Chains A and B, each alone.
Chain A
Amino acid sequence: MTDAPALQIRGLAKRFGDKQAVAGIDLDVPSGSFFGLVGPNGAGKTTTLSMATGLLRPDAGRVAVHGIDVWGQPTDAKRIIGNLADGVRLFDRLTGEQLITYTAMMFGIPRPEIAPRVSDLLTMMDLRDAAGTIVADYSAGMTKKIALACALVHAPRLLVLDEPFESVDPVSAANIEDVLRGYTASGGSVIVSSHSMDLVQRMCDHVAVIAAGHVLAAGTTDEVRAGESLQERFVSLVGGRHSSEGPAWLRQS
């Protein structure tokens, strides 16, 4: 079990109506790695991560977290996953502090440990001042941060973060980056989806490029970018870059 990858995905597929959102994806997230998942809009990133965390039933394929089958033993698997899902609500009638406490209780954290953990997370996410504010009244970036805090509260072995840095201010993002680095250095594993190539190139030791439900390239970040910047490599893999200066009517002179 110690050798099992943090996340192993085999032949994962999902179809919505006429659209094959995910068409047979294989991925290995090594234990202790910081794994980036990149791809254009509609590539199937969120669908893949939803299936990997037990939120969306796959049409085909297997997912295992540290050797535990996510769809065979969901309760055991979810216990060691910290999940920041994209495009779902939180129980946003609760205050930030209540929401983290609630999540900790859901994972059965012993009562005496809850308050210190909540306090640390609020400080870590720069949300101390907003602790008593209802989450519905948070800005987009604050909502991301509180969701991330909820994903961390039970000290999971694998963190699955879908667009964690979207709308988060640069200072908080840098703070969170430090925390995540410390987390992987101590043996935790992270898989993160993002549109920011600079961020992925800087933070991730592994990366996979997916488009139209297929894996186009996967491996260590250095292997995948093959001497180019990740941005250039991504564009050449995915294609679709225009070189025009825009339509004539848009030019101001």
Chain B
Amino acid sequence: MVATVLRLRYRVLANTLARHPAQLVGFIFGMLSALWLLVLVVAGLVVLALWQGAEPAQTVVVLGGAVLILGWVLGPVLIAGTDTTVDAARLAPFPLTRRQLMLALAGTGATGIPGIATAVVALATVVLWVRWPVAAVAALACAVLAVATCVIASRLVTTLSEGLGAGRRGREIVGTVVLGLIILTGPIVTGVLMLLDASGSPSAQFTQAGTVVGWTPLGAAWAVPGDIARGAWGPALAKLVIAAATLAVLWLVWSRALVAAQGTSRQRAARTVKPGSLGLFGIMPTGGIGATWARSLTAWLRDPRYLRQLIMVPLLPIVFWFTGGAASGLFAASTVIVALVIALVGYTDVSYDGTAFATVLASGVRGRDDRLGRMLAGVCVGLPLVLAVALITTGIAGSWRMLPALLGAALALLLSGYAVSAVSSALIISPVPAPGDSPFKTVPGQTFVNGMLVFVVMGAVLALSAPALVLAAIGVFADLPVLAWISLIAAVAVGLGAMIGGVIFGGRVLDRTGPDLLQRIRALPAR
């Protein structure tokens, strides 16, 4: 039975790849890069085994292994719906005992690409201990233990995030928080290491961290062989117990969670507002422009797929502040990068509509009305954000003299971005997560050419904003405030002109391409 489920999963993968040749290419590239990474890791381990003693080897394995397990735990949260070809809900109609179900799910987890890669890496760590035969044997057992821990922990998290009633909304929030944490990881790790040992060298800090992590469930399994090699039998036994207990507890909790998840249906509590509350649809003027404006702005403010891109806005200045301090040029210029990020959010805006674009098409709305509505919505969000970041960062850095140049550069990028998006989103369809899916879901179907189009769009934005950017740069570096002011004027003038042109030209393009866009959206995989 378990073997049947495993075969089913490979069958599904093969069928998907056979149907979408572009995906097959992507898949092969993914495999090759994974393989290359594996070769590097294994080679690194061999070098470590040949040239280093037990202690550095243990530190590397424990820290690396802990990160690996952490990755497996966070994976399902970040990339919701990871490999849902086989999950508990889909297996529910079949007469499987809970133990069979768990084995089938764990088996598919372990035999996927990440599972195989993890297993290879874990087994490769055995080479570190060939000089100590007993440790090597223990390493083999511990590798199995560690891989099992990875798989079970990941399955547990998947089950929890699906079954715990929190549902989509909850998962989206958790995902956003985790992404924020990851972006802030750099500063946090630096801070923690500084706390650990303010005076020690980096290698001493790592050793210390490795010792601590080795006693936690994340690192215990990886730490056992090293302890044995050094003859520390007591700690080795204790850590083995920790590792085994971790796996046992995970298995038991997962078993409980599966039972709990079976009870709750996938139906969530309906999200309801008071009848009569029309939101933006009660405010905007009637007609194609107003309707599109209201719908698009609602998406910018409510749809996690847009919000995900907006969380970069506060994070970028914070990261630059951490890395360089308030006086750094990078922090002062963070508004410009924020503007570029916001400018590119809508470059494939129609893709986010999904097949709901059919209702736009069926209404016969004129292309330029649609373009203008979407643009106005973007401006309503982007302009206040860029102005706020500019004023706040300038205020913190105290660099008010730079403000005109900063605004010139940032507004040039932002307004050009709206202008280019008005045209590009009438031409480009990219695979994006479906409405309601996790915004972090990696969507298959992205082709190489399509990925390159982002750079074409970015190039067009830079070209349109070049006059203002150059003037602003000269104004700052040559300390000529007049040029900075001219750059601000040029940014607004060129930007507004380009936006008008973008609405008219993009509108004409959309009138022509509308039905073809819909057909391309429908042709995307998994729709």
- A residues near B (Cβ < 8 Å) are 53-57, 74-79, 81, 83, 85, 87-95, 97-98, 101-111, 114, 128, 131-134, 136-137, 150
Contact = CB atoms under 8 A, between A and B. Distances in A.
A54 B362 contact: yes
Given A57-B519, A75-B364, A105-B291, 19 more contacts: A54-B361, A54-B364, A79-B364, A85-B362, A88-B355, A88-B359, A89-B435, A91-B356, A93-B302, A93-B303, A94-B298, A103-B363, A106-B291, A106-B365, A111-B285, A111-B286, A132-B277, A133-B272, A137-B271
Contacts of A104: 286
B276 interface: yes
B294 A105 contact: yes
B290 interface: yes
A55 B361 contact: yes
B55 interface: no
B407 to A, nearest CB: 33
A56 B298 contact: no
Contact of A101 (B282, B302, B355, B365): B282
B286 A57 contact: no
Interface in B404-458: 435-436
Contacts of A54: 361-362, 364, 515
A91 B282 CA distance: 17
B355 A89 contact: yes
B287 interface: yes
Contact of B270 (A90, A97, A137, A150): A137
A222 B281 CA distance: 46
Contact of B363 (A92, A98, A106, A114): A106
A102 B295 contact: yes
Contacts of A137: 268, 270-271
Nearest to A122: B275
Nearest to B355: A88
Contacts of A57: 515-516, 519
A83 B519 CA distance: 17
Nearest to A95: B273
Given A55-B361, A74-B364, A103-B359, A98 B272 contact: no
A88 B353 CA distance: 11
Contact of A56 (B273, B285, B515): B515
A197 B303 CA distance: 41
Nearest to B290: A105
Contacts of B286: 104-105, 108-111, 114
Nearest to A137: B270
Contacts of A55: 358, 361-362, 515, 518
The winner among B295, B302, B364 for most chain A CB atoms within 10 A is B364
Is chain A's binding surface mostly helix, strand, loop or mixed? mixed
The 9 closest A-B pairs by CB, nearest first: A78-B364, A105-B291, A88-B358, A88-B355, A106-B363, A137-B270, A131-B275, A89-B356, A83-B362
A90 B362 CA distance: 12
A53 B275 CA distance: 32
Interface string B280-314: 01101111101110110011001100000000000
A121 to B, nearest CB: 13
A95 B290 CA distance: 18
A107 B359 contact: no
Contacts of A87: 355
- What's the interface size class on B, roughly? 35 or more
10 contacts: A89-B355, A89-B358, A89-B435, A93-B436, A101-B281, A102-B281, A105-B281, A108-B287, A132-B276, A134-B270
Contacts of B295: 91, 94, 102
B508 interface: no
Which of B359, B360, B435 has the most CB atoms of chain A within a 10 A radius of its CB?
B359
A56 B519 contact: yes
Given A102-B295, A132-B272, A150 B359 contact: yes
B370 to A, nearest CB: 9
A153 to B, nearest CB: 10
Contacts of A109: 286
Interface string B164-183: 00000000000000000000
Nearest to A80: B364
Nearest to A83: B362
A148 B355 CA distance: 17
A137 B96 CA distance: 31
B362 A97 contact: no
Given A97-B278, A101-B282, A108-B288, A78 B294 contact: no
B359 A91 contact: yes
B359 A97 contact: no
B446 to A, nearest CB: 20
B514 to A, nearest CB: 8
A101 B285 CA distance: 11
A109 B302 CA distance: 26
B279 interface: yes
Contacts of B364: 54, 74-79
B354 interface: yes
Contacts of B511: 74
B366 interface: yes
- Considering residues A90, A91, A106, A131, which has the most beta carbons from chain B within 10 angstroms of its beta carbon? A106
A102 B356 CA distance: 13
Nearest to B515: A57
B274 interface: yes
Most chain B beta carbons < 10 A, residue from A53, A95, A102:
A102
Contacts of A106: 288, 291-292, 360, 363, 365
Interface string B108-133: 00000000000000000000000000
A108 B288 CA distance: 7
Interface in B480-524: 511, 515-516, 518-519
Interface string B326-364: 000000000000000000000000000111101111111
B373 to A, nearest CB: 10
Contacts of A114: 286
B519 A102 contact: no
Which of A56, A79, A81, A92 is packed against the most chain B CB atoms within 10 Å?
A56
